[in-house]
Amino acid sequence: MTCRVAAPWRTPIFQWLGGDHPMMTSLLAPRAGYEFLLDMPEPTDAHRAQAAAERDALVAELAAAAPGVPREAIVKFAESRDLESQAQLAAAEADLALPHSMPFVFGQRPWLAHIEELMTLFAPFLWHGKTANADVRSMPVWALVRAMLESDRCRAISSHLRHSHEFIGKLFDSPKIRAKSHYIPFGIDFPPDVRARIEAAQQARAERSGCTFLFTNSWGQHDESFVLRGGMETLAAFGALVARRPDCRLILRTQVPKLFGPDFEKFVRSIPNVEIVDTKLAFGDFVDLFLRADVFLIPSCGLHTVSLLQAMACGAATIASDAPAVDEFIADGETGIAVKGRLGRTSWYDAWGFLNQTFEPMMRSYDAEFAANLGAAMEELARDRARRLALSRAGRDHVERNHAIGPWVEGFGRVLDSVRAGL
């Protein structure tokens, strides 16, 4: 019998997070015995009534499981799951629901979730950049999420971060939640023709002169994302570097942010040897940028797993920051460089594994000290071709050994099979 799994990532409640993220859609490879549903059917009035009943049932369950939480907080929490999105999920008539990052379900049917940071479990009440020194365990939302995760209808929680897997039971003080947690290293894949191009690019990197750096903004190219990914420090560091080494080049895959006024684009374009790629790109075009680059820059205040591993797999020596969880992918000085200055200033973990984060310092002004540290790492690789090629090879080898697509898909498949056996 086929198990129908609804992935409601295109419902309205998930759109503000970007919807069906490539990391998650890679899990939905065809699998015998399963049907994955991404597009939810249009709900009828009966489905909306069903969703309303599920919402009310969730409120009653949470009131019983967390008696110290005021009823108004419980109702607000349940309503944050979005009635229309849950009506679409009801219309799918699936055996399992598969939310990602946030438990945006009413939880009245069996469900499992995949997460990155534990912090997103508390959305929309807590979110990136607004959790500095947050005492999450004292907040009503902590007790409510805990009750949802402890429910027997929550069958499993998986994460591609070892940190999240190891700390989730501690954060919620719950052996039951800990027992549901699974660690599955994220995996990427490139078709054979792309692999051949990567090999050719490696040879070109060994022969061409100068050094090309690549910085990419988020998929949506938001102004704020440019800043949070370290765009301002990248410009400062490269501007100083190219004055000393005019054979260096910088590719900016981003729209030039408008939040700094009309003169900012003139400033960016005045920096020598800067190429701006500001159009939407298909996957193949992204690969082309990675292959053109000798060094990939992601000096962000947070982790960006997909772009980090894609760049490493394409053979670009990688300079990241020391942001939390980056060390799960980059061994500083061995498979890449992790520039110091983000950890403890913009992002850090508390004793429970909860991500504390503030964007305020980066939005107020660029970090001159971090830019100097970044510039030193860039100069080291621009000066020493052998060093950057060694990091390139080590990064590729690390991805091949630890982040292949097969174990990622099959690991999740084993979790699905274990959940299905209990339906």
Sequence-separated (6 or more) residues with CB below 8 Å from residue 204: none
**Span 3-187+406-421: which CATH code?**
3.40.50
Distance CA 381, CA 326 (A): 20
Distance CA 113, CA 95 (A): 14
Contact (Cβ atoms closer than 8 angstroms) between residue 76 and residue 140 = no
Write down the pLDDT at residue 18: 65
Distance CA 243, CA 419 (A): 58
333 Cα distance to chain centroid:
23
Coil, helix or strand for 100?
Answer: strand
pTM, entire model: 0.93
Coil, helix or strand for 395?
Answer: helix
Residue 302 has pLDDT above 90, yes or no: yes
Q: Write the pLDDT tens digit of every residue in 24-72.
A: 999 999 999 999 999 999 999 999 999 999 999 999 999 999 999 999 9
Residue 221 has pLDDT above 80, yes or no: no
Q: Write the pLDDT tens digit of every residue in 310-362.
A: 999 999 999 999 999 999 999 999 999 999 999 999 999 999 999 999 999 89
For the chain, the structural domain boundaries read 3-187+406-421, 192-403
Contact (Cβ atoms closer than 8 angstroms) between residue 279 and residue 221 = no
Round the average pLDDT of the chain to a whole number and report it: 94
User: How buried is 224 (Cβ within 10 angstroms: 0-12 exposed, 13-18 middle, 19+ buried)?
Assistant: middle
Average pLDDT of the residues in 98-121: 96
Strand partners, 349: 355
Residue 377 has pLDDT above 90, yes or no: yes
CATH class, domain 192-403, is alpha beta
Cβ density class 161-186: b for 16+ within 10 Å, e for less = bebbbebbbebbebeebbebbbebbb
Write down the pLDDT at residue 177: 98
Sequence-separated (6 or more) residues with CB below 8 Å from residue 202: 315, 392
Average pLDDT of the residues in 183-203: 89
3-187+406-421 and 192-403: same fold?
Answer: yes
pLDDT band at 196 (very low <50, low <70, confident <90, very high): confident
